[in-house]
Protein backbone atom coordinates (compact mmCIF):
# COMPACT_ATOMS: atom_id res chain seq x y z
CA UNK A 1 0.00 0.00 0.00
CA UNK A 2 1.03 3.61 -0.55
CA UNK A 3 2.75 5.45 2.28
CA UNK A 4 0.78 8.09 4.16
CA UNK A 5 2.11 11.52 5.14
CA UNK A 6 3.10 12.22 8.75
CA UNK A 7 -0.31 13.62 9.75
CA UNK A 8 -2.18 10.50 8.71
CA UNK A 9 0.01 7.90 10.38
CA UNK A 10 -2.14 6.51 13.19
CA UNK A 11 0.42 7.02 15.96
CA UNK A 12 0.69 10.69 14.99
CA UNK A 13 -3.09 11.13 15.16
CA UNK A 14 -3.41 9.57 18.61
CA UNK A 15 -1.63 7.07 20.84
CA UNK A 16 -1.53 5.90 24.45
CA UNK A 17 1.59 6.49 26.53
CA UNK A 18 2.53 5.80 30.16
CA UNK A 19 1.16 9.15 31.34
CA UNK A 20 -2.09 9.20 29.37
CA UNK A 21 -3.55 9.57 25.89
CA UNK A 22 -1.74 11.79 23.38
CA UNK A 23 -3.49 13.55 20.49
CA UNK A 24 -1.44 15.00 17.65
CA UNK A 25 -1.98 18.75 17.92
CA UNK A 26 -2.82 19.83 14.41
CA UNK A 27 -3.20 23.43 15.59
CA UNK A 28 0.60 23.62 15.83
CA UNK A 29 1.46 21.73 12.62
CA UNK A 30 3.58 22.20 10.49
CA UNK A 31 5.61 24.52 12.71
CA UNK A 32 5.69 22.00 15.57
CA UNK A 33 5.04 18.29 15.89
CA UNK A 34 3.55 18.26 19.36
CA UNK A 35 0.91 16.29 21.22
CA UNK A 36 -1.89 17.24 23.60
CA UNK A 37 -1.81 14.94 26.63
CA UNK A 38 -5.14 13.87 28.14
CA UNK A 39 -5.56 11.91 31.36
CA UNK A 40 -9.36 11.61 31.21
CA UNK A 41 -12.11 11.24 28.64
CA UNK A 42 -13.37 14.67 29.70
CA UNK A 43 -10.06 16.13 28.56
CA UNK A 44 -10.24 14.18 25.29
CA UNK A 45 -13.72 15.58 24.57
CA UNK A 46 -12.49 19.09 25.36
CA UNK A 47 -9.52 18.63 23.01
CA UNK A 48 -11.90 17.58 20.22
CA UNK A 49 -14.07 20.65 20.82
CA UNK A 50 -10.96 22.84 20.79
CA UNK A 51 -9.94 21.51 17.37
CA UNK A 52 -6.75 19.77 18.50
CA UNK A 53 -7.64 17.42 15.66
CA UNK A 54 -10.42 17.57 13.08
CA UNK A 55 -11.80 15.93 9.93
CA UNK A 56 -11.19 12.19 10.22
CA UNK A 57 -8.92 12.70 13.23
CA UNK A 58 -11.69 12.51 15.86
CA UNK A 59 -12.65 9.00 14.70
CA UNK A 60 -9.11 7.71 15.26
CA UNK A 61 -9.03 9.53 18.60
CA UNK A 62 -12.32 7.86 19.54
CA UNK A 63 -10.92 4.42 18.72
CA UNK A 64 -7.84 5.05 20.85
CA UNK A 65 -9.97 6.50 23.64
CA UNK A 66 -12.00 3.27 23.83
CA UNK A 67 -8.75 1.38 24.40
CA UNK A 68 -7.83 3.99 27.03
CA UNK A 69 -11.17 3.60 28.81
CA UNK A 70 -10.75 -0.18 28.98
CA UNK A 71 -7.26 0.25 30.43
CA UNK A 72 -8.53 2.74 33.01
CA UNK A 73 -11.27 0.28 33.98
CA UNK A 74 -8.70 -2.49 34.30
CA UNK A 75 -6.67 -0.42 36.77
CA UNK A 76 -9.74 0.76 38.71
CA UNK A 77 -9.38 4.41 37.76
CA UNK A 78 -12.76 4.38 35.99
CA UNK A 79 -15.83 2.55 37.37
CA UNK A 80 -16.43 -0.76 35.59
CA UNK A 81 -20.12 -0.18 34.87
CA UNK A 82 -22.32 0.12 31.80
CA UNK A 83 -23.55 3.53 32.96
CA UNK A 84 -20.00 4.88 33.14
CA UNK A 85 -19.08 3.39 29.76
CA UNK A 86 -22.18 4.98 28.21
CA UNK A 87 -21.42 8.33 29.84
CA UNK A 88 -17.90 8.36 28.44
CA UNK A 89 -19.02 7.33 24.95
CA UNK A 90 -21.65 10.09 25.02
CA UNK A 91 -18.94 12.60 25.95
CA UNK A 92 -17.02 11.70 22.80
CA UNK A 93 -20.12 11.77 20.62
CA UNK A 94 -21.20 15.20 21.85
CA UNK A 95 -17.75 16.71 21.29
CA UNK A 96 -18.28 16.86 17.49
CA UNK A 97 -22.04 16.69 16.80
CA UNK A 98 -21.77 17.15 13.03
CA UNK A 99 -19.50 14.11 12.68
CA UNK A 100 -22.16 11.41 12.56
CA UNK A 101 -19.76 8.76 11.27
CA UNK A 102 -17.94 8.89 14.59
CA UNK A 103 -21.24 8.84 16.46
CA UNK A 104 -22.63 5.82 14.64
CA UNK A 105 -19.36 3.90 14.86
CA UNK A 106 -18.99 4.54 18.59
CA UNK A 107 -22.57 3.54 19.33
CA UNK A 108 -22.15 0.36 17.30
CA UNK A 109 -19.03 -0.58 19.26
CA UNK A 110 -20.78 0.30 22.54
CA UNK A 111 -23.60 -2.09 21.66
CA UNK A 112 -21.02 -4.84 21.08
CA UNK A 113 -18.89 -4.38 24.20
CA UNK A 114 -21.38 -3.16 26.82
CA UNK A 115 -22.89 -6.64 27.44
CA UNK A 116 -19.46 -7.75 28.66
CA UNK A 117 -19.52 -5.03 31.30
CA UNK A 118 -23.09 -5.93 32.20
CA UNK A 119 -22.01 -9.54 32.69
CA UNK A 120 -18.98 -8.41 34.71
CA UNK A 121 -16.52 -10.49 32.72
CA UNK A 122 -12.95 -10.17 34.05
CA UNK A 123 -11.54 -6.75 33.28
CA UNK A 124 -8.54 -8.24 31.47
CA UNK A 125 -10.96 -10.08 29.18
CA UNK A 126 -12.89 -6.86 28.58
CA UNK A 127 -9.68 -5.00 27.65
CA UNK A 128 -8.75 -7.77 25.24
CA UNK A 129 -12.17 -7.65 23.59
CA UNK A 130 -12.09 -3.87 23.23
CA UNK A 131 -8.63 -4.02 21.64
CA UNK A 132 -9.84 -6.74 19.27
CA UNK A 133 -12.96 -4.80 18.22
CA UNK A 134 -11.11 -1.52 17.78
CA UNK A 135 -8.31 -3.16 15.81
CA UNK A 136 -10.90 -4.68 13.49
CA UNK A 137 -12.57 -1.30 12.96
CA UNK A 138 -9.24 0.40 12.29
CA UNK A 139 -8.26 -2.24 9.75
CA UNK A 140 -11.66 -2.00 8.03
CA UNK A 141 -11.38 1.78 7.74
CA UNK A 142 -7.83 1.53 6.38
CA UNK A 143 -9.07 -0.84 3.68
CA UNK A 144 -11.91 1.54 2.84
CA UNK A 145 -9.54 4.52 2.63
CA UNK A 146 -7.45 2.78 -0.01
CA UNK A 147 -10.49 1.43 -1.86
CA UNK A 148 -12.00 4.91 -2.05
CA UNK A 149 -8.62 6.35 -2.99
CA UNK A 150 -8.55 4.07 -6.02
CA UNK A 151 -12.11 5.10 -6.89
CA UNK A 152 -11.18 8.75 -6.58
CA UNK A 153 -8.09 8.30 -8.74
CA UNK A 154 -10.29 6.91 -11.52
CA UNK A 155 -12.00 10.32 -11.72
CA UNK A 156 -8.72 12.19 -12.11
CA UNK A 157 -7.36 12.61 -15.62
CA UNK A 158 -3.82 13.29 -16.76
CA UNK A 159 -3.07 17.01 -16.49
CA UNK A 160 -5.87 17.80 -14.06
CA UNK A 161 -5.69 20.75 -11.70
CA UNK A 162 -7.82 19.86 -8.68
CA UNK A 163 -9.32 22.45 -6.34
CA UNK A 164 -9.89 21.38 -2.74
CA UNK A 165 -11.13 22.91 0.52
CA UNK A 166 -9.86 22.21 4.06
CA UNK A 167 -8.10 18.90 4.83
CA UNK A 168 -9.75 15.98 3.05
CA UNK A 169 -7.45 13.44 4.69
CA UNK A 170 -6.96 9.81 3.62
CA UNK A 171 -9.32 9.34 0.70
CA UNK A 172 -8.45 12.51 -1.20
CA UNK A 173 -4.70 12.28 -0.65
CA UNK A 174 -4.70 8.60 -1.60
CA UNK A 175 -6.68 9.43 -4.75
CA UNK A 176 -3.91 11.78 -5.81
CA UNK A 177 -1.23 9.26 -4.88
CA UNK A 178 -2.89 6.46 -6.87
CA UNK A 179 -3.42 8.81 -9.82
CA UNK A 180 0.26 9.67 -9.82
CA UNK A 181 1.17 5.97 -9.45
CA UNK A 182 -0.84 5.40 -12.64
CA UNK A 183 1.33 7.95 -14.44
CA UNK A 184 -1.09 10.86 -14.34
CA UNK A 185 0.25 14.38 -13.97
CA UNK A 186 -1.88 16.17 -11.36
CA UNK A 187 -1.62 19.35 -9.30
CA UNK A 188 -3.78 20.86 -6.57
CA UNK A 189 -5.03 24.32 -5.64
CA UNK A 190 -5.39 24.40 -1.85
CA UNK A 191 -7.59 26.93 -0.07
CA UNK A 192 -6.09 28.35 3.13
CA UNK A 193 -9.33 27.56 5.00
CA UNK A 194 -9.82 30.29 7.56
CA UNK A 195 -9.81 30.68 10.48
CA UNK A 196 -7.77 27.59 11.42
CA UNK A 197 -5.90 27.39 8.10
CA UNK A 198 -6.30 23.63 7.75
CA UNK A 199 -5.60 23.91 4.03
CA UNK A 200 -2.43 25.91 4.53
CA UNK A 201 -1.15 24.01 7.55
CA UNK A 202 -2.36 20.45 6.93
CA UNK A 203 -3.24 19.82 3.27
CA UNK A 204 -0.47 21.82 1.63
CA UNK A 205 2.43 20.40 3.71
CA UNK A 206 1.04 16.87 3.31
CA UNK A 207 0.93 17.23 -0.47
CA UNK A 208 4.47 18.54 -0.50
CA UNK A 209 5.59 15.64 1.68
CA UNK A 210 4.01 13.25 -0.83
CA UNK A 211 5.72 14.98 -3.76
CA UNK A 212 2.45 16.18 -5.32
CA UNK A 213 2.52 19.62 -6.94
CA UNK A 214 0.34 22.11 -5.10
CA UNK A 215 -0.27 25.84 -4.92
CA UNK A 216 -1.73 27.60 -1.90
CA UNK A 217 -4.50 30.13 -2.54
CA UNK A 218 -6.70 32.22 -0.27
CA UNK A 219 -10.31 31.17 0.33
CA UNK A 220 -11.70 33.73 -2.11
CA UNK A 221 -9.57 32.71 -5.11
CA UNK A 222 -11.35 29.51 -6.15
CA UNK A 223 -13.90 31.22 -8.40
CA UNK A 224 -11.11 33.29 -9.99
CA UNK A 225 -9.28 30.20 -11.22
CA UNK A 226 -12.50 28.48 -12.20
CA UNK A 227 -13.40 31.49 -14.33
CA UNK A 228 -10.00 31.29 -16.01
CA UNK A 229 -10.58 27.66 -16.89
CA UNK A 230 -7.58 26.54 -14.82
CA UNK A 231 -9.49 24.07 -12.61
CA UNK A 232 -10.58 20.72 -14.04
CA UNK A 233 -12.36 19.35 -10.96
CA UNK A 234 -13.27 20.12 -7.36
CA UNK A 235 -12.85 17.43 -4.66
CA UNK A 236 -13.45 17.66 -0.92
CA UNK A 237 -14.13 15.51 2.09
CA UNK A 238 -17.53 15.61 3.80
CA UNK A 239 -18.38 15.75 7.47
CA UNK A 240 -21.84 14.42 6.70
CA UNK A 241 -23.75 13.20 3.65
CA UNK A 242 -27.55 12.79 3.73
CA UNK A 243 -29.57 10.25 1.82
CA UNK A 244 -30.72 12.84 -0.73
CA UNK A 245 -27.09 13.69 -1.57
CA UNK A 246 -26.83 16.82 0.55
CA UNK A 247 -23.19 17.33 1.53
CA UNK A 248 -21.97 19.04 4.71
CA UNK A 249 -18.37 20.21 4.70
CA UNK A 250 -16.17 23.03 5.94
CA UNK A 251 -17.56 26.54 5.41
CA UNK A 252 -16.34 27.82 2.05
CA UNK A 253 -17.25 24.59 0.26
CA UNK A 254 -20.61 25.96 -0.88
CA UNK A 255 -19.16 29.03 -2.60
CA UNK A 256 -16.78 26.88 -4.63
CA UNK A 257 -19.54 24.38 -5.45
CA UNK A 258 -21.73 27.21 -6.79
CA UNK A 259 -18.84 28.51 -8.89
CA UNK A 260 -18.14 25.00 -10.18
CA UNK A 261 -21.75 24.61 -11.24
CA UNK A 262 -21.64 27.94 -13.08
CA UNK A 263 -18.40 27.07 -14.90
CA UNK A 264 -19.37 23.41 -15.54
CA UNK A 265 -16.61 21.90 -13.41
CA UNK A 266 -17.48 18.59 -11.66
CA UNK A 267 -17.62 18.50 -7.86
CA UNK A 268 -17.06 15.19 -6.06
CA UNK A 269 -17.19 14.70 -2.30
CA UNK A 270 -15.75 11.74 -0.41
CA UNK A 271 -17.97 10.03 2.16
CA UNK A 272 -16.86 6.85 3.89
CA UNK A 273 -20.24 6.52 5.62
CA UNK A 274 -23.29 8.39 4.30
CA UNK A 275 -25.78 8.66 7.17
CA UNK A 276 -28.99 6.63 6.58
CA UNK A 277 -30.67 8.45 9.49
CA UNK A 278 -30.32 11.83 7.76
CA UNK A 279 -32.76 12.11 4.88
CA UNK A 280 -31.97 15.70 4.00
CA UNK A 281 -31.08 19.17 5.19
CA UNK A 282 -33.89 19.32 7.73
CA UNK A 283 -32.27 16.47 9.71
CA UNK A 284 -28.87 18.14 10.07
CA UNK A 285 -27.61 19.50 13.40
CA UNK A 286 -25.08 22.18 12.47
CA UNK A 287 -22.15 23.18 14.65
CA UNK A 288 -21.86 26.94 15.19
CA UNK A 289 -18.55 27.91 16.73
CA UNK A 290 -17.66 31.00 18.75
CA UNK A 291 -17.35 33.96 16.40
CA UNK A 292 -14.41 35.28 18.36
CA UNK A 293 -12.28 32.59 16.68
CA UNK A 294 -12.58 34.55 13.43
CA UNK A 295 -10.88 37.54 15.07
CA UNK A 296 -7.62 35.57 15.35
CA UNK A 297 -5.26 33.79 12.99
CA UNK A 298 -2.47 31.56 14.32
CA UNK A 299 -3.07 33.02 17.74
CA UNK A 300 -2.75 36.66 16.68
CA UNK A 301 -5.53 39.21 16.43
CA UNK A 302 -6.42 40.22 12.89
CA UNK A 303 -8.46 43.27 13.88
CA UNK A 304 -9.10 45.58 16.84
CA UNK A 305 -11.80 43.67 18.68
CA UNK A 306 -15.45 43.77 17.67
CA UNK A 307 -17.89 41.01 16.73
CA UNK A 308 -17.64 38.14 14.28
CA UNK A 309 -19.61 35.09 13.13
CA UNK A 310 -18.33 31.58 12.51
CA UNK A 311 -20.62 29.00 10.91
CA UNK A 312 -18.31 26.00 10.88
CA UNK A 313 -19.90 24.13 8.00
CA UNK A 314 -21.68 24.65 4.71
CA UNK A 315 -24.69 22.69 3.51
CA UNK A 316 -24.24 21.92 -0.19
CA UNK A 317 -27.49 20.91 -1.93
CA UNK A 318 -27.40 17.80 -4.13
CA UNK A 319 -28.04 19.87 -7.25
CA UNK A 320 -24.46 21.18 -6.94
CA UNK A 321 -22.87 17.75 -6.38
CA UNK A 322 -21.72 15.74 -9.40
CA UNK A 323 -21.03 12.57 -7.47
CA UNK A 324 -20.10 11.15 -4.08
CA UNK A 325 -17.19 8.74 -3.70
CA UNK A 326 -18.32 6.04 -1.28
CA UNK A 327 -17.25 2.48 -0.38
CA UNK A 328 -20.02 1.32 -2.73
CA UNK A 329 -18.73 3.28 -5.70
CA UNK A 330 -18.98 6.77 -7.14
CA UNK A 331 -22.67 7.51 -6.80
CA UNK A 332 -24.92 10.26 -8.08
CA UNK A 333 -26.74 12.05 -5.24
CA UNK A 334 -30.00 10.49 -6.39
CA UNK A 335 -28.54 6.97 -6.02
CA UNK A 336 -27.40 7.26 -2.40
CA UNK A 337 -30.65 6.28 -0.70
CA UNK A 338 -30.95 3.16 -2.85
CA UNK A 339 -27.45 2.06 -1.85
CA UNK A 340 -27.31 3.01 1.84
CA UNK A 341 -30.84 3.00 3.28
- 309 is a domain residue: yes
- How far apart are alpha carbons 237 and 248 in whole angstroms? 9
Question: Residue 184: how many CA atoms within 13 Å on its side-chain side?
Answer: 21
Same domain, 189 and 295: yes
Task: Kindly state whether residue 122 falls inside one of the protein's structural domains.
Answer: yes
Domain limits at 27?
Answer: 6-143
Boundary (domain end) residue, out of 143, 177, 203:
143
* pLDDT value of position 9: 95
Count of other CB atoms within 10 angstroms of residue 28 = 16
Q: How far apart are CA 238 and CA 246, in angstroms?
A: 10
Do 128 and 189 reside in the same domain of the chain?
Answer: no
Local confidence pLDDT in tens for the 341 residues of the chain: 688 999 999 999 999 999 999 999 999 999 999 999 999 999 999 999 999 998 889 999 999 999 999 999 999 999 999 999 999 999 999 998 877 889 999 999 999 999 999 999 999 999 999 999 999 999 999 999 999 999 999 999 999 999 999 999 999 999 999 999 999 999 999 999 999 999 999 999 999 999 999 999 999 999 999 999 999 999 999 999 999 999 999 999 999 999 999 999 999 999 999 999 999 999 998 878 899 999 999 889 999 978 999 999 999 999 999 999 999 999 999 999 999 97
Residue 11 shares a structural domain with residue 126: yes
CATH of the domain at 297: 3.40.50.10470
The structural domain count of the chain equals 2
Of 118, 143, 168, which residue is a domain's last? 143
Pair 183, 115 in one domain: no
Residue 285 lies in a domain: yes
Question: For the domain that residue 123 is a member of, what is the CATH number?
Answer: 1.20.120.420
Q: Are residues 93 and 234 in the same domain?
A: no
| 85 shares its domain with 203 | no
Distance CA 248, CA 238 (A): 6
Among 117, 143, 169, the domain-final residue is 143
Q: Do residues 162 and 292 share a domain?
A: yes
pTM: 0.92
99, 17: one domain: yes
Is 149 inside any structural domain? no
Residues whose CB falls within 8 Å of the CB of residue 321, separated by 6 or more in sequence, listed in order: 245, 247, 257, 267, 268, 269, 333
Answer positive or negative: Cα dihedral of 155, 201, 5, 100.
negative
Instruction: Specify whether 260 is located in the same domain as 290.
Output: yes
Same domain, residue pair 246 and 202: yes
CA distance 247 to 275: 11
112 and 251 share one domain: no
The answer to whether residue 150 sits within a structural domain is no
Amino acid sequence: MLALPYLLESEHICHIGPEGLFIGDRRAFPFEKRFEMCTSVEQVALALRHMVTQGGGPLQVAFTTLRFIAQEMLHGRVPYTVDELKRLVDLLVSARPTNTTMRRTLLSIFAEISPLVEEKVPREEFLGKVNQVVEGEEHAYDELYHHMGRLGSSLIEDGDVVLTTCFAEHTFLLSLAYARQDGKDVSVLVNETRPYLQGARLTYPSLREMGIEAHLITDGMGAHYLAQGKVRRYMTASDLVCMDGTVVNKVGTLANAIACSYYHVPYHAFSISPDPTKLGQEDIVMEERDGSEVLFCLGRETTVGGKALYPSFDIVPPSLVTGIVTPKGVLAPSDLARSFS
